[in-house]
Amino acid sequence: MSRIFNFSAGPAMLPEVVLERAQSEMLDWHGTGMSVMEMSHRGKEFLSIADKAESDLRALLSIPDNYRVLFLQGGASGQFAGVPMNLLGDKRIADYINTGAWSKKAIAEAKKYAQVNVAASSEAENFTTVPAQDQWQLSDDAAYVHITSNETIGGVEYPFTPDTGDRPLVADMSSTLLSRPIDVMRYGVIYAGAQKNIGPAGLTIVIVRDDLIGHARVETPSVIDYRVQAEAGSMSNTPPTYSWYIAGLVFQWIRQQGGLASMSALNQRKAESLYAAIDASDFYQNPVDPNCRSWMNVPFTLADDTLDKTFLEGAEQAGLMFLKGHRSVGGMRASLYNAMPEEGVRALIDYMHIFEQQHG
Ligand SMILES: *Cc1c(COP(=O)(O)O)cnc(C)c1O
């Protein structure tokens, strides 16, 4: 079978060497005669896997000691509720920045618990940009400010880290965490579903500053209460052990690649080459403000959308999979997470050139 490149937005491509390692350890992890799937989460074997994953993630992101790392379930969508339930405390207002489809979902869920102030929105620009910080109207008494660092559907990524003063900054980083270095200290909470850039579905990473733990409202389910989970080492109930293990292998792989500085350089090169190919042609378009273009998710449309189906069929024949855009926007979307090699992006660009020559 010839080589396949998987451009899915998530669940998404994983590094081949990680899958091979998991395959080799599938039936017998380190001479235990057991698969990781079969191990007690409280046994010393799994605890060693869990600890190593956390310490590798801490090393990759330089996570300071006054932050806890939680390995939870429920997805980023679970945190849409988890964030207000844990952080509101005795406040009522939460500020949200609306930059697209995932922001909107976070806002809709938060409205069940909080009085949401949409402090800035790029809806009038059809979500093709991030509102400049000097236009944000933050509330004085907001419990926190929520952003979506990378809009996976719109392909819009923050080109700056907001300054929210005393209000904790909360970021949904589902589709960008580990794509580049970040300054964790600038954030109160960072959360991400794993299935974009980290590992398999089923695992949700939450990185939370100590002082934001312990304020959950009483009716918060224990499994999403940051204090309960922090005290239990993310094991207040059975954690997603296999996804945690695979994420740990991904963390080791990123460290072997040279860490986030190397990932960042690679991701920037991949994204820039694809945007350059789109911009150089009248046949393909990307509507996003060049400053805010995502490195991870590159949506593009064909000038003639009656060719979409032909484009996608030819792409599949060339081994370029899952390029169909999100159902809400149509067109195409190429997701270029860490595991996508430059070779895959080159293959896509070559295919786009040939398709344009044949149909342009
Ligand atoms: C995929 C995604 C989500 C939803 O993640 P689930 O794990 O399916 O809940 C939320 N936010 C962003 C930015 C995403 O890309």
Residue to mutate (ligand 1; options 79, 152, 197, 326; most atoms within 8 A of CB): 152
| Range 258-359 classified under CATH 3.40.50.150 | no
Q: Is the dihedral of CA 347, 353, 359, 360 positive or negative?
A: positive
List, for residues 26-69, the tens digit of each pLDDT value. 999 999 999 999 999 999 999 999 999 999 999 999 999 999 99
Instruction: Locate CATH 3.40.640.10 in the chain.
Output: 17-256
Ligand 1 pocket, 50 CB below 6 A?
A: no
Which of 99, 103, 175, 176, when mutated, tests ligand 1's pocket best, judged by the most ligand atoms within 8 Å of its CB? Answer: 175
- Cβ(73) to ligand 1 under 6 A? no
Closest-lying ligand 1 atom to the alpha carbon of residue 79 = 9
Residue 44 tokens read as 């010393």
Q: What is the pLDDT of residues 277-333, one digit of tens each?
A: 999 999 999 999 999 999 999 999 999 999 999 999 999 999 999 999 998 888 999
pLDDT in tens, 138-163: 999 999 999 999 999 999 999 999 99
Ramachandran category for residue 224: left, alpha or beta (phi over 0 → left; psi -120 to 50 → alpha): alpha
CATH number of 17-256: 3.40.640.10
How far is CA 255 from each of CA 46, 204, 226, 252, 343, rounded to the nearest angstrom?
21, 20, 28, 5, 21
CB of 188 shorter than 6 A to ligand 1 = no
| CATH 3.90.1150.10 domain locations along the chain | 258-359
- Residues classed as catalytic: 102, 172, 196
Q: How much is the pLDDT for 1?
A: 54
